[in-house]
Amino acid sequence: MIDLLKVVNLYKSFGNNKVLKGISFEVKKGTVYGFLGPNGAGKTTTIKILAGLISFDNGEIFFKGMNYKKYKKKILRHIGYLPQNPVFYNYLTPFEYLNFIGEICGIGKTIIKKRVDEVLHIMKLSNVANRKIASFSGGMIQRLGIATAIFNNPDFLLLDEPTSSLDPEGRIEVLEHIKSLKEQGITILFSTHNLNDVERICDEVSILNEGQIIVSENLENLKKKYIQPIFDIEFEKVPPNLNEKLLRLPYVQCVDINHNNVLVYVSNVEVAKQNLIKAIAEFDTPVLSFTLKKPTLEDIFIRVVNINVNV
């Protein structure tokens, strides 16, 4: 596949706060690229840079081989952007609002009407085209936001946390629409902290943490690379210093403690099978369960972040 976007060693600071610390990644044409990380990791800052809303300090961006700084105006004509919390004039209808967007862009009336009808159809909003936006659900608002973002027929769509404020039904609905946009040939960069969203629609993923990309990988390769099973242990009461003592074991990569449940991520499952239960027994604390479970994407995320933090 051809790279549509290439970001090289990108830096951005706000005063003394270093938000991006030299991130690099590539987005291939025709894919959905997941930008995954906790709040404050640098996802929104990166998307705002790509959308032309803020500048960057150092680094390079190439879109279709064009240097971003040199051809910024030309490049932005090919990019659509949905902010995390889109705001609309609630007294308007979707039909009125999208017509307004077309007029601002200086598009002819005939072309505007055709395009409004197209994007409302694509986002399944035709039946509510003349309803006031004020009456819309969260999912409908996000769909209208995406309709606005694709109004200019972009090659590349930037979506900043498009499902963060939605209920499960609204989230699934929006994700299905994003998948359909990919099928229409639009390349999408999708920012989220929800691992299930990434697993549902993304082809590739970058994991950000504290302004750095700690891994960029095809989603299937990422799962294979970090597919090691996890030991799930439930204590009657977690013993003191458990985390510190387990991390001294050479085969233990990281430990995640949640109330009385402990997840132990290991580098060698066979060694852990023979030795971990012996190590646990030394704490002389009642163990309610000791199981080996298949990792989820959330488990993989925890493993990747901890490995890179401790390097």
CATH number at residue 239: 3.30.70
Does the pTM of the predicted model rise above 0.95? no
Q: Are 190 and 165 in a shared domain? A: yes
Q: Which of 218, 243, 270 is the last residue of a domain?
A: 218
Q: Are 252 and 115 in a shared domain? A: no
Average pLDDT, the chain: 88
Distance, in Å, from the CA atom of 45 to the CA atom of 38, rounded to the nearest integer, reads 13
CATH number of the CATH domain containing 108? 3.40.50.300
Q: Are 84 and 206 in a shared domain? A: yes
What pLDDT was estimated at residue 41? 87
Q: Which of 169, 195, 218 is the last residue of a domain?
A: 218
Q: Classify residue 300: in a domain, yes or no.
A: no
Grade residue 310 by pLDDT with cuts at 50, 70 and 90.
low
Q: Classify residue 21: in a domain, yes or no.
A: yes
Q: Classify residue 299: in a domain, yes or no.
A: no
Q: Classify residue 307: in a domain, yes or no.
A: no
Q: Do the bridges between strand 156-160 and strand 79-82 make them parallel or antiparallel, or are there none, so unpaired? A: parallel
Q: Are 236 and 214 in a shared domain? A: no
83-136 tens-digit pLDDT: 988 888 999 999 999 999 888 877 888 888 899 999 999 888 999 999 999 999
Q: Classify residue 144: in a domain, yes or no.
A: yes
Amino acid at 94: P
Q: Give me the percent of the chain exceeding a pLDDT of 90.
A: 52
Q: Classify residue 72: in a domain, yes or no.
A: yes
Is the pLDDT at 309 greater than 70? The verdict is: no
Distance, in Å, from the CA atom of 156 to the CA atom of 17, rounded to the nearest integer, reads 29
Question: 10 Å Cβ neighbour count for 223?
Answer: 15
Q: Are 77 and 29 in a shared domain? A: yes
259-281 tens-digit pLDDT: 899 999 888 888 999 999 999 99
Grade residue 308 by pLDDT with cuts at 50, 70 and 90.
low
Q: Classify residue 311: in a domain, yes or no.
A: no
Please state the domain count of the chain: 2
Structure tokens at 138: 């969260």
Grade residue 311 by pLDDT with cuts at 50, 70 and 90.
very low
Q: Are 169 and 214 in a shared domain? A: yes
Q: Are 109 and 204 in a shared domain? A: yes
What pLDDT was estimated at residue 225? 73
Q: Are 205 and 267 in a shared domain? A: no
Q: Classify residue 301: in a domain, yes or no.
A: no
Q: Are 279 and 150 in a shared domain? A: no
**Domain containing 282: what range?**
228-294
Q: Are 144 and 240 in a shared domain? A: no
What pLDDT was estimated at residue 165? 74
Q: Are 39 and 180 in a shared domain? A: yes
CB neighbour class for 226 (10 Å; exposed up to 12, middle 13-18, buried from 19): buried
Q: Are 195 and 275 in a shared domain? A: no
